[in-house]
Structure 1
């Protein structure tokens, strides 16, 4: 009986595919790549870029039973997502999206509509208007506390990805709930980790390729439902507490701001009402999008700097020129970030080489359109290959190399597309850029980063999964302090010992390391 059911589903799917192809026979479609097991490729974005070298920047391929269009250049991505954004602002409603998006009220996964636009406007206002006066001081405060924790571990190998993950989760917790208690941060951090790990499992990903498999027993699907229920329970508890203590016309945090913005009459062109469920899913988006993506980018930045100590030395010299040597209380306000051009260039280069979500989230056409002269029918799933665009040899010189100076040259190429573009651009981009700037500036001002003896981190992403996740690694932070003689020394532990910890590469005083710095050379990716 099971075999007969599978055979029937296969026949029906094949018939549907043939009928769809017959209806498209009169259109000028992008070229089709043969095969349907492309997701099994170990490095999918690079594989897709390789296909573009043969077929051009726009082509079609089948991911299981789904026919999708892939965009592999900055020009084609911007044509679709910016110039024709209304045509490409939709989101496909695949099984896993429906499960985790609470009746399609999610911003990241929800389909395009006028109510979705109102939802986005409210969340963006809460982030940029409601928190604009407190956001940077909060990020500075929590980053300073992070550096103090790192100082207590100076000279000892640290799994810095976990530290970054907890830091970014703490920032989101404070902005969203106004709560800095470690207990709540740990609860949300564990919840996000569990949800993302379960969602990324192959047993869930395969349902998005072959939806009919959801009718068969699947332990992974049960675990995902449990993770979503746990997530919703935690968020609902925070909503209850905020409603009980909220004062009308005053907001303490983003949740207060958003709760006071729902239920109000909307403008004529936005039918429907924003409800508490929209606030619920905005919180979910902030935690999922604002924790692991930023912490992973920070981890990639440290990994590249461990491979390129000459860039780290130049960054420290730049900070010294603007702030004075050592880990003082001075800081460069984010609005004056152009005072640190190399730091900005380094952040841009990390985002270019390692966009955490290299294929973004899939788009869906809301009406018939075209790209690069090809017809794109309504309802087509479109995948922007962001990493492919970042490695395009027609745009970037030596695209596979870590070379921040590319962004310092006159007439340098514009920044990368790591946060997407157009209507679906990452809502948390301003906060993420602020965090990257503040955390790296503080970290490099206070410490010299060193690899444990003889062990450099891999610059290859985790082999499994679509996202560009850094492989686990450790690093040592050697704290720089001002000596009474006026020189600079390196502390390797809380006892102010000048000896390097035996687990780490030999530490060199900051002034001596910078004096020995060689002219920067672009290193291999």
Structure 2
């Protein structure tokens, strides 16, 4: 009886909230509304949303739930935190740690860890490799080194954080959690998936807190060994000029969480998509290796191409841009919220409206791109080519780790193609280029394997450092 009464009360409250919201919007010229509210159940959601533009135009409304995600019980994270003066200070601190705190060490660390990765792959040469798992461990180790410093030499910590990220991602994507976005009041009922998510978050927080404590115990004022040192000392330096609140250690905690959640699987997935496309297009792979051999040969002016000199490898840059265009790992940009009433295409957009740009939709727009569904890196080599810069989002919530991700994509693909030829595990066994159909808002690649055939002695010539 009590349960039935609670359900009735929740239903009445939800109905009253909906009616009040509609009454406030009665005099506005709003974009067309897509009927229904189970859009999250659609396979390949971004493509489904793109198809709606053919019927409704480029701007429309739909119900996606978008309830607050269970990310932290303390300070908000950067990706989903409310836009405020405190949020901007939090973002500035994290960006400074990435751009200033690790400026001199970022590329050498990525190079070193990538070389070690290639050595591990050489041991498995000729055998089928589940490359996404290897990329995932590599990107997690890079984040570990940048965040916790070169003292992170034991693989146990890298594997522990990798397993933690995998557990969180798997739990978030489970239907028992996804359904809470569509039917929020179900969170008040027993839910094993929600319990597992809370346990995963507690484990994550315990691991991060331990690292913060170790840093505080050994930190030297005015010096920073890694991003965590920089941010912990920056909490006192970055003052919030106006508004309530102040940066706390909890903000550093959530910055570390964002770096691992946003910087591990996203980059690993993009690298995996690149390998899959190159397996389907061996002629592009051959041209890339010819470009590398030409620029990294003993007779070249410099046998090492740094990220600053990436313009020397135009086809590699174009290939990365084309992979990001076709398979942006987060095809629906992070939710934005309007801070004041505005309009677009003649439609009224009220203050507080959640706006989600469909990045993949923009990348597949036939009015902008010729043959948008085709893998054609050469499109970025043409004069006046579209830069295709939307893969990392846009506006205030553009990806903080874009510079790091682009560096990783460049270095890892350069070293991988320099050392190996990518081959399918058997004749005709090519990976699917279709995303996992039920993967939430991420474009996850379906599992596949690849054989890495060493290119021989000449592949190592480019490893010589410039003097």
- TM-score relative to the length of structure 2: 0.93
2:287 counterpart SS class? helix
- Alignment match, 1:170: 141
Please give the alpha-carbon distance, in whole angstroms, between the structure 1 residues aligned to 2:79 and 2:181: 17
- Alignment match, 1:474: 449
Shifted more, 271-280 versus 331-340: the winner is 271-280
1:480: Cα distance to partner? 1.1
Please give the alpha-carbon distance, in whole angstroms, between the structure 2 residues aligned to 1:386 and 1:248: 43
Please give the alpha-carbon distance, in whole angstroms, between the structure 1 residues aligned to 2:97 and 2:238: 18
Please give the alpha-carbon distance, in whole angstroms, between the structure 2 residues aligned to 1:350 and 1:416: 12
- Alignment match, 1:48: 49
Please give the alpha-carbon distance, in whole angstroms, between the structure 1 residues aligned to 2:238 and 2:375: 51
Assess if the C-alpha contact under 8 Å between 1:173 and 1:180 holds in 2. no
The question of 1:434 aligning with 2:385 is answered no
Specify every segment of 5 or more residues in structure 2 that has no aligned partner in the other structure, as ranges.
461-467
- Alignment match, 2:432: 458
- Alignment match, 1:88: none
Shifted more, 414-423 versus 132-141: the winner is 414-423
Write the deviation string for residues 143-195 of structure 1: whole angstroms up to 9, x where unpaired: 00000011111111000101000000000000000123211101100011101
Q: Which has the higher helix share?
A: 2
Assess if the C-alpha contact under 8 Å between 2:423 and 2:452 holds in 1. yes
Assess if the C-alpha contact under 8 Å between 2:270 and 2:324 holds in 1. yes
- Alignment match, 2:131: 160
2:92 to 108, 121, 143: 121
Please give the alpha-carbon distance, in whole angstroms, between the structure 1 residues aligned to 2:156 and 2:217: 21
Root-mean-square deviation (Å)? 1.8
Please give the alpha-carbon distance, in whole angstroms, between the structure 1 residues aligned to 2:338 and 2:155: 43
Please give the alpha-carbon distance, in whole angstroms, between the structure 2 residues aligned to 1:23 and 1:105: 29
- Alignment match, 1:517: none
Assess if the C-alpha contact under 8 Å between 2:291 and 2:313 holds in 1. yes
- Alignment match, 2:384: 411
Please give the alpha-carbon distance, in whole angstroms, between the structure 2 residues aligned to 1:411 and 1:343: 18
Please give the alpha-carbon distance, in whole angstroms, between the structure 2 residues aligned to 1:270 and 1:145: 47
Assess if the C-alpha contact under 8 Å between 1:356 and 1:469 holds in 2. yes
- Alignment match, 2:226: 253
1:305: Cα distance to partner? 0.3
- Alignment match, 1:31: 32
Write the deviation string for residues 222-267 of structure 1: whole angstroms up to 9, x where unpaired: 0010000000000010011100000011111000011111134615
- Alignment match, 1:354: 327
2:295 to 295, 300, 322: 322
Please give the alpha-carbon distance, in whole angstroms, between the structure 1 residues aligned to 2:368 and 2:131: 33
Please give the alpha-carbon distance, in whole angstroms, between the structure 1 residues aligned to 2:296 and 2:187: 57
Assess if the C-alpha contact under 8 Å between 1:390 and 1:416 holds in 2. no
Please give the alpha-carbon distance, in whole angstroms, between the structure 2 residues aligned to 1:387 and 1:275: 36
2:340 counterpart SS class? coil
Please give the alpha-carbon distance, in whole angstroms, between the structure 1 residues aligned to 2:73 and 2:263: 19
Assess if the C-alpha contact under 8 Å between 1:104 and 1:111 holds in 2. no
1:130: Cα distance to partner? 0.8
